[in-house]
Structure 1
Amino acid sequence: MTPPLVRPIVLAGRIAPLGDDRRLSAIDKRPTPGPWRIAPTGLADDVQADLKHHGGLEKALHHYPFEHYAAWADEIGDNPLMRMPGAFGENLSTTDWTEVNVCIGDVVRFGRALLQVSQGRQPCWKLNRRFGRPDMALRVQSSGRVGWYYRVLEAGVADAGDVLRLIDRPCANWTLERMTRLLYRDTDDLESFAGMMALPELAQSWRELARRRLNSGNIEDWTKRLYG
């Protein structure tokens, strides 16, 4: 299934204290007016507080489907954060693009910038602080409603009114839904992990994750990532 042309809401954030312990984070993203200059590391006016785990060439832009917000409202109740895009730290918010119809390696034109889906999101403890729920990161992981990241193949400027347009799909069998299910549910599917490891379009860190699982037969400990 090919995602349709959509005009995204574009969001950027600034570093600020997060949660009761006041840890610094830029997860609070707000809509920002175009035109938007998209550099190899993402939006020119966006920042990350923790460059070890966020941002970088393989996680330049985060895309999160807005239709997931209704599912979250049903699951955890009304939350002021979810009354507008940006609750999950996303840079691009759309409808009709989800983990079901977006694949690893998808090449996407946005204005004069060219993007490629590099990996899904591995939710971390900052979502717990953001939503005031100690299990929010685990809920996001378990739900499969994780969103995804882009690398920037060609830097460029996008203007208000520009659409996201899928222009190439080299890995049609590798939807984000399949990838997320493999990582967190079907963890004994060794054949699929071998295929995952061989995907050149997939972020190197995720190919290494697949290699480690194949070599050790073990699942990595998620505790620190999910709970801090």
Structure 2
Amino acid sequence: MTVFPITLLTGPVAPLAGSEARSGIVKTRVARPLALGPEGFEGDEQADRRVHGGIEKAVHHYPQDHYAEWRADLGALPPLAAPGGFGENIATAGLTEAEVAVGDTFRLGSALVQVSQGRQPCWKLNHRFGLPDMARRVQATGRTGWYYRVLRPGTVAPGDRLELIDRLAPDWTLRRLWHALYVDRMNLGELEGIAALDVLAEGWRKYAVRRLDSRRVEDWSARLDGTA
């Protein structure tokens, strides 16, 4: 896992099909270099800044490798025809949640980015794909993608490479993190490890802290189904 050519994508806020909401989930390929700042790429938009965007979700990465798996599961749905279906800003082949760890630091064009957290699927994926349970499918499979924080702003162009330069917590792959939060949800040893993982976004560490304190797992149904 060293160097990966990228597909670069952005998108504006627009009406979300099948909903009264607006969203920036539809991303398309970019044909020119873009400035990357602390909160993302120039020209990229998020409709609900309470839960999307911000410094810990500045760049969304989704593996191209998952598209073939989704087509095998769901058929040739339009969002699966090309990268951008999951709202990602960059896509690569050969790099998935099984290899990438929290705190991994990459050179991206002239910028430096660091893996901050996994992607939490939400109900907007249901409308994007025309499937009432798409967000739940993404959560259940662990094909979530992930987010970067920007350590050094810079410029990123189509065809630039994502180059790994440092690993701060290589044992904490995104697959392991997903398994602890979504599958083996009350494994106290794993939760203690997550709570102490300083390089992980604070919001995700708080999930572990709350579970350790309450001995209960939070209910994410509203986020997945769009009922709140």
Q: TM-score range by the shorter chain?
A: over 0.9
Shift, 1:44, TM fit: 1.0
- Alignment-derived partner of residue 209 in structure 2: 211
How far 1:160 moved relative to its partner? 3.6
Q: Deviations over 1:49-95 (max 9, x none)?
A: 01000000000000000110110011111111111100000000110
Q: What's the CA shift string for 1:3-52, capped at 9, x where partnerless? A: 23111101001111112223100100001123121000010110100100
| Counterparts of 1:23 and 1:161, CA distance in 2 | 33
Q: Indicate the SS of the match to 1:164.
A: strand
Selected match of 1:41 from 33, 39, 45: 39
RMSD: 0.9
Is the partner of 2:194 in helix, strand or coil? helix
- Residue 134 of structure 1: SS of its match in structure 2? coil
* Alignment coverage as a number of residue pairs: 226
SS at match of 2:4: coil
Q: Tell me what 1:111 maps to.
A: 109
Which stretches in structure 2 are left out of the alignment for 5+ residues?
none
Taking the TM superposition and a 5 Å limit, the aligned residue runs for 1:78-227 are 78-227=76-225
Matches within 5 A, 1:46-61: 46-61=44-59
Calculate percent identity across the aligned residue pairs: 50
Give the C-alpha shift of residue 133 in structure 1: 0.4
1:14 aligns with 2:24: no
Is the contact made by 1:38 and 1:158 (CA closer than 8 Å) also made in structure 2?
yes
Q: Say whether the 8 Å CA contact 1:13–1:47 is kept in structure 2.
A: yes
Q: Which amino acid in the other structure matches residue 144 of structure 1?
A: G
C-alpha separation in 2, matches of 1:187 and 1:47: 33
Contact 1:105 1:202 (C-alpha < 8 Å) held by counterparts: yes
Amino acid at match of 1:122: Q
Partner Cα distance (2:56, 2:164) in 1: 19
Separation of aligned partners in 2, 1:160 and 1:136: 29
Name the SS of the counterpart of 2:222 in structure 1: helix
What TM-score do you get using the length of structure 1 for normalisation?
Answer: 0.97
- In 2, Cα distance between equivalents of 1:145 and 1:161: 24
* TM-score, structure 2 normalization: 0.97
Q: Could you list the runs of 4 or more consecutive aligned residues of structure 1 that deviate by over 4 angstroms after TM superposition?
A: none
- 1:162 and 1:17 map into 2 onto residues whose CA distance is 31
SS in 1 for 2:192: helix
1:14 and 1:46 in contact (8 A); partners too: yes
The question of whether the paired residues in 2 share the 8 Å contact of 1:67 and 1:95 is answered with yes
Alpha-carbon distance in structure 1 between the residues aligned to 2:86 and 2:163: 23
Tell me if structure 2 keeps the 8 A contact 1:37–1:158.
Answer: yes
